[in-house]
Chain A
Amino acid sequence: MANRRNKRAAISATLTWFTAFVIIFFMMILFLAGVGVLSKQKASSYVSASMAGSKSGALLDQYSEPSGYDSGDLELQRALAAFLNSESEFNGNKRQMKDAISNLGAEVYRKNSVMSASEIKGNPEYNKIYESATTFFDGMSSLYWPDGACYVLCLDFKEKLSTIGYEPMGSQVIVGNKCLYGGKDIYSRGNAYYRCAVSKYGISSKVFNYAYLELFPDENRMVRVRILQGGIKPIVLGGTA
């Protein structure tokens, strides 16, 4: 009798533990599925490092402008912001450079095209902007590029013709000194922009830094201020490259 009773108890206990095992196993499967779903969500928020392209591939910003995207670009962007926030005296009144440039754009928007060389040189505001930009960026260039430097500051005028975005109206070079590379004067040949320099002369992306900032004179217009700065031998830590 005792043996029979023990067997029943053993069967009962085994059945109970078996049920518990099934429940726990089922919970484990649910847990793994849950973790899988969560990890997929997490992975989708990562940005694949491979999208940056190969070593020789250039990154493009939203305007398809190639850029080296290095710390020199950040440095240049900060310098550009400092320049735009700086004040100069225009006819006895202090004005911020970004306001003066926005106002220069008003003439372009009035004409609906960029100014000719003679028109822009005859513009009193332009002369002051030119003078201030030259002083500011000459100083900066000589600091970073002692063996020869160049920079080009240009404005892209854009107009909002639809809700999608801004349409380009034209670009105006504000300041540009000679960009010499391999004996070729890049700026004089009308190639103020990095992409031209790269495609026509095969210049290494390490040579130039590029940055831009935007100004909004009114709700439908945008002026993008771009600067390209570079030289032949940039300063690196411990000496020149």
Chain B
Amino acid sequence: MMNRRGDVAITLLVFMIVVLLGYSLFSFYKGASGVGVEVTDSRFVEGMYLNEGVALFNIESAGEKALVKGYRETLNEGVFRKIGAGTANSEVDGLMRDRVLDALKKEPAVGKYVGAGDNLVVVVNGEDIEIDAKNVILPTITAKGKEEKVVGVGVYEAKPNITMNLREQGLWGFVEIVSVSRECVKDNKDLPGSAEAEIERCVEARITTFDVRVSKEGANFVLNFISKKTFYLDKQFKKVDFAFKVGENGEIA
């Protein structure tokens, strides 16, 4: 009986040591990935920040371009007709998100600094757009006369989070454009002789990033929007323009 009790104690001791050592190794392993970099030469850190600045500037510029391209693509897909037919706002956001992401993946700056498109996340929430990029490839820093060292992911990881707003970029949200247009048409449609001019004035007062021209076509009002801002796309300066019809009762044609 005594021997058996002794065996149990020793087995327990060995078992506890195995657990303790296993846990220690596991925590070492987990801790290794989150360890910061020890760099004693501050110039190196400054250099990393400079390279990060270049990467962030490029990703941000690419994001701005992709935003405009995605906006135009969404327009081409008849977004106003979809909103008029009762498409949910979240679906409109999803449509815009997909188009912006597609455009972003094609941007050369993104290819250079982010690599595969899987590292990009685009979130569209009404007029706010957020771009998250991970695993950003930073340019290398070399020391004069020394072997080149690659500094990249894992050593210093840049995680750009870019937030943009359609209005700040010289555009405007689709849902808001439809809503304002409907209200302005309803409020001014019956003004004799000056309905078009009043609708123009009403829309321009509320959607300030676009010039608006209104004409009458049968029972509908045709609203032409031209952006005030000029965008540099495909090596040309272009304005974003679109048109849609609003019926007297606010239906989108």
Contact = CB atoms under 8 A, between A and B. Distances in A.
A168 to B, nearest CB: 16
Given A49-B39, A60-B143, A212 B108 contact: no
Interface in B1-30: 2-3, 6-7, 10, 13-14, 17-18, 21, 24-25, 28-29
A64 B148 CA distance: 11
A81 interface: yes
Interface residues of A, number: 66
Contact of B32 (A16, A41, A103, A106): A41
B139 interface: yes
B51 A46 contact: no
Given A9-B2, A81-B53, A53 B29 contact: no
Contacts of B144: 53, 57-60, 66
A23 B14 contact: yes
Contacts of A48: 149
Contact of B35 (A45, A51, A106): A45
Contact of B57 (A41, A68, A213): A213
Interface in A67-90: 67-71, 73-74, 77-78, 81, 84
Contact of B44 (A13, A45, A49, A71): A49
B109 interface: yes
Contacts of B231: 99
B32 A71 contact: no
Interface stretch (A31-39, A133-141, A149-157, A178-186): A31-39
B14 A215 contact: no
B143 A53 contact: yes
B154 A45 contact: yes
A90 to B, nearest CB: 8
Interface in B225-240: 228-232, 234-235, 237
A70 B141 contact: no
A229 interface: no
A61 B141 contact: yes
A44 to B, nearest CB: 10
B143 A59 contact: yes
Nearest to B35: A42
Nearest to A76: B50
Given A20-B14, A31-B24, A216-B108, A93 B139 contact: no
Choose among A46, A49, A59 the residue with the greatest number of B CB atoms under 10 Å from its CB. Answer: A59
Interface stretch (A113-121, A217-225, A230-238): A217-225
Interface in B73-118: 106-109
A12 interface: yes
A77 B57 CA distance: 10
A47 B155 contact: yes
B10 A16 contact: yes
A172 interface: no
A57 B44 CA distance: 12
Given A9-B3, A47-B39, A60-B142, A52 B14 contact: no
A57 B143 contact: yes
Given A60-B141, A69-B43, A216-B58, A106 B235 contact: yes
B140 interface: yes
Contacts of B7: 16
Nearest to A42: B32
B237 A93 contact: yes
B151 interface: yes
Nearest to B236: A103
A16 B139 contact: no
Contacts of A34: 25, 28
Contact of B43 (A68, A217, A218): A68
Nearest to B29: A38
Q: 10 shortest A-B CB distances, which residue pairs? A: A99-B232, A52-B41, A49-B40, A69-B43, A62-B139, A69-B47, A69-B46, A53-B143, A20-B10, A31-B21
Interface of A: 9, 12-13, 16-17, 20, 23-24, 27-28, 30-31, 34-35, 38-39, 41-42, 45-49, 51-53, 57-62, 64, 66-71, 73-74, 77-78, 81, 84, 93-96, 98-99, 102-103, 106, 160, 211-220, 222
16 contacts: A12-B3, A52-B39, A57-B143, A59-B144, A61-B141, A68-B43, A69-B44, A71-B46, A77-B53, A81-B53, A102-B235, A160-B108, A213-B58, A216-B108, A218-B108, A222-B108
